[in-house]
């Protein structure tokens, strides 16, 4: 509704005030303010902000030379090395849409994503060339491949061109912002609740704001040094690449996750910030020997973690080593972290049990998030803030996805009534903090990655001896959760052993998706024939307590 007073008439946005929000602006600013400061460390290689910006602009120029046009998709398959850091700016500078690929997927899984997103170019790091070759082999129209690495393209990727040569030959692209801040900047695939992954389409506006929120909550500054432990493909590294440019933070690459390497790199490079899934944090806290000793008075290192809330034992062990843990919660559809368990001053005086309880909450919205609440499944209205009434946790604001690529039905369902539904059950406490009480029933969260139970069930059911299968989450002391399968065998077929059926699953799935336990039994069902997964989940919890899975 317009203002009633005439004195405001004629005032509206102009070219001086209406500039699209995009994280591309962060890189241009960082290169202007800190041109000689080190922006990226990759082993012995060092790139200043001026050099990093030049490489990103040259990547945009190289993509243009490959006929990449605005709206085209450019995928990247790489660990936490410079090519993926550069792609987060070079691809949007070309007007294209970035598709960071999960390096834990198998060839068929990657092939589905490349085909569904219609990726025009694929950037691959040499360490993942065999995996890329497996994915590309089944595509009728494979993308053009640029291979990042020091040596010549391996035999597995004979048609690949050199990433470094492409950058050297390209002229730096001009700085450009999107035509609209609502233009797509990335499409990230998440397994969601179905076997085939869904493409989460993110926009420039949300990326800009999410980066600022994470810069703020983690306390990043131009003196900070951020170690890339969290996979940069996962929710765009929680917008950490963009946030580091906004703050002028030095980014330190890490080829593979190894707790000894992480702890040694923290000391060698004077790291101030790390983000990691709970399983990686646990690994870091359980290293004994081969790393520098740390105590409570050691140089402070901030560790952002998501997923399951850290236990009081983990928080205590972290503090004893000079680590400050910040617990966040979110999903790919909301650019990663959306809430933070913001500490209150009076918590310091709480008894240990009460302190552990409040620190386990998922918390309150980040500063750029409009609202987080818990909705009644029936009415769609917020539940009472009593800490007891269960409902579905929901988000709303500018850091919510545009929707799912080529999937209007799933988009409408996820964004119904002006909220992004998380699929997580939780409660709303009187102080406004939300707390997850149960994961979405059929999704397994293992090591921070979503695993679809339906996908595993479909693979198990293809075995000649399997009549039917049901998969649920089993508590796991290391991964948080792992898949447990309950299987009914065909009486006429030779019966496989548990080990043989697990091997079958590993042959047809990415290994992290394969069940770690298989129980042979009749499946419990309702009167209408529906499998009672609640019964199986309870049995899986009991089995885990009696004999944890490998």
Reported in sequence order, the residue ranges of 332-479 that DSSP labels E, i.e. its strands, are 336-340, 364-365, 369-375, 391-397, 403-404, 420-428, 434-438, 443-446, 449-452, 466-476
Using pLDDT thresholds of 50, 70 and 90, give the confidence band for residue 73: very high
pLDDT at site 4: 66
Highest mean pLDDT among 192-196, 271-275, 305-309, 519-523: 271-275
pLDDT at site 462: 83
CATH number assigned to the domain covering 257-438: 3.40.50.12780
Highest mean pLDDT among 153-157, 436-440, 542-546: 542-546
pLDDT at site 144: 97
Q: Are 484 and 517 in contact (CB under 8 A)?
A: yes
Hey, how many other C-beta atoms are within 10 angstroms of the C-beta on 432? 12
Q: Are 241 and 216 in contact (CB under 8 A)?
A: no
Q: What pLDDT, in 10s, does the model give residues 484-498?
A: 999 999 888 889 999
The C-alpha atoms of residue 541 and residue 536 are separated, in whole angstroms, by 9
Reported in sequence order, the residue ranges of 2-77 that DSSP labels E, i.e. its strands, are 38-42, 45-48, 73-77
pTM: 0.84
User: Thinking of the domain 48-201, which architecture would CATH place it in?
Assistant: 3-Layer(aba) Sandwich (3.40)
257-438 and 443-546 agree in CATH topology = no
Using pLDDT thresholds of 50, 70 and 90, give the confidence band for residue 439: low
- Please report, rounded to a whole number, the percentage of residues in the chain having pLDDT higher than 70: 95
Orientation of helix 24-33 relative to helix 204-218, angle to 10°: 50
Q: Are 242 and 218 in contact (CB under 8 A)?
A: no
Highest mean pLDDT among 71-85, 255-269, 288-302: 71-85
pLDDT at site 152: 66
* CATH class as words, domain 443-546: alpha beta
b/e per residue 274-299 (b: at least 16 CB within 10 A): bbbbbbbbbbbbeeeeebeebeeeee
β partners of residue 50: none
Overall average pLDDT of the 400-427 stretch: 94
Q: What pLDDT, in 10s, does the model give residues 183-225?
A: 999 999 986 444 578 999 999 999 999 999 999 999 999 999 9
Sequence ranges of the domains in the chain: 48-201, 257-438, 443-546
């Amino acid at each position: 509704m317009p203002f009633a007073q005439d004195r405001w008439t004629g005032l509206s946005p102009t070219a001086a005030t209406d500039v699209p929000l995009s994280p591309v602006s962060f890189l241009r600013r960082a290169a202007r303010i800190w041109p000689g400061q080190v922006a990226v460390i990759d082993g012995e290689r060092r790139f200043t902000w001026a050099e990093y910006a030049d490489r990103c602009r040259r990547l945009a120029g190289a993509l243009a030379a490959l006929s990449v046009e605005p709206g085209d998709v450019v995928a990247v398959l790489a660990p936490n090395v410079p090519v993926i850091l550069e792609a987060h700016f070079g691809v949007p500078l070309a007007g294209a849409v970035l598709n960071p690929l999960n390096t834990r997927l198998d060839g068929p899984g990657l092939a589905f994503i490349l085909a569904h997103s219609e990726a025009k170019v694929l950037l691959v790091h040499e360490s993942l060339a065999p995996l890329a070759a497996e994915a590309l082999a089944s595509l009728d129209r494979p993308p053009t491949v640029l291979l990042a690495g020091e040596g010549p393209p391996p035999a597995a990727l004979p048609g690949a061109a050199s990433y470094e040569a492409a950058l050297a030959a390209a002229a730096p692209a001009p700085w450009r912002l999107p035509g609209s801040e609502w233009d797509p900047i990335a499409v990230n695939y998440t397994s969601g609740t179905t076997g085939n992954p869904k493409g989460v389409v993110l926009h420039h506006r949300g990326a800009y704001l999410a980066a600022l929120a994470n810069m703020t909550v983690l306390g990043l500054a131009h003196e900070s040094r951020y170690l890339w432990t969290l996979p940069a493909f996962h929710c765009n590294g929680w917008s950490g690449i963009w946030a580091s440019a906004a703050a002028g933070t030095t980014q330190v690459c890490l080829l593979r996750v190894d707790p000894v390497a992480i702890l040694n790199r923290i000391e060698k490079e004077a790291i101030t910030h790390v983000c990691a899934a709970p399983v990686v944090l646990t690994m870091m806290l359980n290293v004994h020997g081969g790393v520098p000793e740390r105590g409570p008075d050691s140089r402070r290192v901030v560790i952002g973690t998501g997923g399951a809330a850290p236990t009081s034992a983990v928080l205590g062990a972290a503090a004893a080593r000079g680590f400050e843990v910040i617990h966040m919660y979110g999903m790919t559809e909301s650019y990663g972290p959306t809430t933070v368990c913001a500490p209150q001053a009076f918590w310091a005086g709480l008894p240990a049990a009460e302190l552990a309880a409040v620190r386990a909450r998922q918390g309150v919205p980040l500063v750029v998030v409009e609202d987080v609440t818990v909705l009644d499944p029936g009415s769609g209205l917020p539940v009472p803030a009593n800490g007891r009434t269960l409902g579905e946790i929901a988000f709303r604001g500018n850091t919510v996805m545009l929707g799912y690529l080529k999937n209007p039905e799933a988009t409408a369902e996820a964004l119904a009534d002006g909220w992004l539904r998380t699929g997580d059950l939780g409660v709303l406490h009187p102080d406004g903090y939300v707390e997850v009480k149960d994961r979405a029933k059929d999704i397994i969260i293992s090591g921070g990655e979503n695993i679809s139970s339906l996908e595993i069930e479909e693979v198990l059911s293809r075995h000649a001896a399997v009549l039917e299968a049901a998969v649920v989450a089993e508590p796991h002391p290391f991964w948080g959760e792992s898949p447990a399968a309950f299987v009914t065998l065909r009486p006429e077929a030779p019966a496989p052993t548990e080990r043989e059926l697990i091997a079958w699953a590993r042959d047809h799935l990415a290994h992290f998706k394969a069940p770690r336990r298989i129980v042979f039994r009749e499946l419990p069902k309702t009167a209408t024939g529906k499998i009672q997964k609640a019964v199986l989940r309870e049995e899986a919890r009991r089995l885990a307590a009696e004999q944890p899975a490998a």
